[in-house]
Amino acid sequence: NRYCVIMGGGVGSRFWPFSRNSRPKQFLDFFGIGRSLLQMSYDRFVKIIPKDHIFIVTNEIYVDVIKEQLPELPEANILLEPARRNTAPCIAWAAYHIRAINPNANIVVAPSDHLILKEEEFARCINLGLEFVAKYPALLTLGIKPNRPETGYGYIQIGEDAEGDIKTVKTFTEKPNLEFAKMFVESGEFFWNSGIFIWNVQTIIKAFQRFLPDISNRFEEHNEVFNTPAEQAFINDNFAACPNISIDFGIMEKASNVFVLCADFGWSDLGSWSALYDHSPKNKDGNVAQGCKTLLYNTANNVIAVKGDKLVVVEGLKDYIVAEADNVLLICPKSEEQKIKQFVTDAKMAY
């Protein structure tokens, strides 16, 4: 009774213009190795969990990309959302769907856009976590030791030892401001939420009933449709009415049965151009070039990602992102990359 849910419906806007609404970052072959981040996530899980038990939840507009990238995945294991409602409704649907198949399922819920370097250690942690949630009604998250006050993550304050490397959680704070993030990191008591969760299907459904009944009541009332031919029509009629909220704000911050497995498997969120920069091979001046030929003079520590086999010639540029894809060219200091989300919104308004 081991299952996996890969969430692949986000937009990855901080990677614009490479990441576009039509093909967000989880579908991109970031390192030029012939596998997208989604495919790499799938490859990691298929070693631990039977293929038929792996589900991808995504927006309906990505159905063709998913089928193209994961032809071996049974079609019934692709759950298609008619609207974007963030991760809580996505996780709820997957839980109700899987409960209809196996009411005692233990489920790993994972993002589709992370980098994990130590795969064996990752597999060991997932196995440990699955064993733990089979025994206890716990909402388990995998925690990562923080090395900077990143504001884009959830922060977990650890409590007492529970079992092995698993600890109780005192507080869970999703995306704190910089001041709090700094305090959390300095205190040494906090871990980052990796966004990988493990729980028994009954435990997570109970949490939805308690904290997000607007979602669970709707699903509970039509419990009989899940895993039947009537399911998609029900979702198409009801999904958009679910509140738009992440699992972190909706449940993890509020629940008291949260546990954390403190893990170290070479995790990176790959949330931004700088993260890609950090994980890519560089030339002697610290430049990363992707998808293009370059002639660089007095130019250091940039990430230059230009599609379409162009020659990029640069003089005197330091610590910048130069990214061109389709009809957009972005030039932005790496230090200002958090503004890219805003640029995307503004570009939509203006053009």
Q: Does 337 bind ligand GDD (CB under 6 A)?
A: no
The Cα angle at residue 269 between residues 198 and 325, in degrees rounded to 5: 130
User: Which stretch of DSSP H or E encloses residue 183?
Assistant: helix 178-187
Q: For residue 187, count other CB atoms closer than 10 A to its CB.
A: 10
Which CB atom, from 192 or from 343, has the smaller least distance to ligand GDD? Answer: 192
Does residue 10 come out as left (phi exceeding 0), alpha (psi in the -120 to 50 range) or beta?
beta
Smallest separation (angstroms) from ligand GDD to the CB of 334: 19
Q: Does 154 bind ligand GDD (CB under 6 A)?
A: yes
Binding part of the chain for ligand GDD, among 2-10, 96-104, 284-292, 303-311 by CB under 6 A, reads 2-10
Q: Which two tokens stand for residue 83?
A: 């609207």
DSSP per residue over 145-167, as a string?
--SS--TTSEEEEEEEEEETTEE
Smallest separation (angstroms) from ligand GDD to the CB of 79: 8
Q: Does 112 bind ligand GDD (CB under 6 A)?
A: yes
**Number of residues engaging ligand GDD in binding (CB under 6 A):** 27
CA 25 to the chain's CA centroid: 10
Bridge partner list, 304: 289, 322
Choose, by CB under 6 A, the member of 10, 17, 129, 149 that binds ligand GDD. Answer: 10
The Cα angle at residue 55 between residues 98 and 17, in degrees rounded to 5: 140
Q: Does 19 bind ligand GDD (CB under 6 A)?
A: no
Smallest separation (angstroms) from ligand GDD to the CB of 58: 5
Give me the sign of the Cα torsion angle 253, 259, 264, 270: negative
Q: Does 87 bind ligand GDD (CB under 6 A)?
A: yes
Q: Does 149 bind ligand GDD (CB under 6 A)?
A: no
Q: Does 291 bind ligand GDD (CB under 6 A)?
A: no
Which CB atom, from 275 or from 322, has the smaller least distance to ligand GDD? Answer: 275
Bridge partner list, 205: none
Q: Does 58 bind ligand GDD (CB under 6 A)?
A: yes
Which 3 state secondary structure label does DSSP give 345?
helix
Q: Does 192 bind ligand GDD (CB under 6 A)?
A: yes
- Distance between CA 321 and CA 302 in Å, rounded? 6
Residue with tokens 């006050």: 149
| Helices 119-135, 37-46: crossing angle, 10 deg rounding | 60
Smallest separation (angstroms) from ligand GDD to the CB of 313: 35
- Distance between CA 158 and CA 137 in Å, rounded? 18
Choose, by CB under 6 A, the member of 51, 84, 118, 307 that binds ligand GDD. Answer: 84
Which CB atom, from 242 or from 323, has the smaller least distance to ligand GDD? Answer: 242
In Å, what is the CA distance from 322 to each residue of 32, 231, 305, 311? Answer: 18, 45, 6, 13
Choose, by CB under 6 A, the member of 111, 129, 143, 176 that binds ligand GDD. Answer: 111
Choose, by CB under 6 A, the member of 7, 126, 225, 251 that binds ligand GDD. Answer: 7
Smallest separation (angstroms) from ligand GDD to the CB of 292: 27
Choose, by CB under 6 A, the member of 113, 231, 324, 337 that binds ligand GDD. Answer: 113
Smallest separation (angstroms) from ligand GDD to the CB of 331: 25
Q: What is the DSSP letter of 9?
A: -
Q: Which two tokens stand for residue 52?
A: 């038929």
Choose, by CB under 6 A, the member of 36, 86, 287, 299 that binds ligand GDD. Answer: 86
291-315 burial code (b ≥16 CB/10 A, e <16): bbebebeebbebbbbbeeeeebebe
Which 3 state secondary structure label does DSSP give 192?
strand
Q: Does 235 bind ligand GDD (CB under 6 A)?
A: no
Q: Does 57 bind ligand GDD (CB under 6 A)?
A: yes
Smallest separation (angstroms) from ligand GDD to the CB of 1: 23
Q: Does 174 bind ligand GDD (CB under 6 A)?
A: yes
The residues that touch ligand GDD, with contacts defined as CB under 6 A, are 7-10, 26, 57-58, 81, 84-87, 90, 111-113, 152-154, 174, 192-195, 248, 269, 271
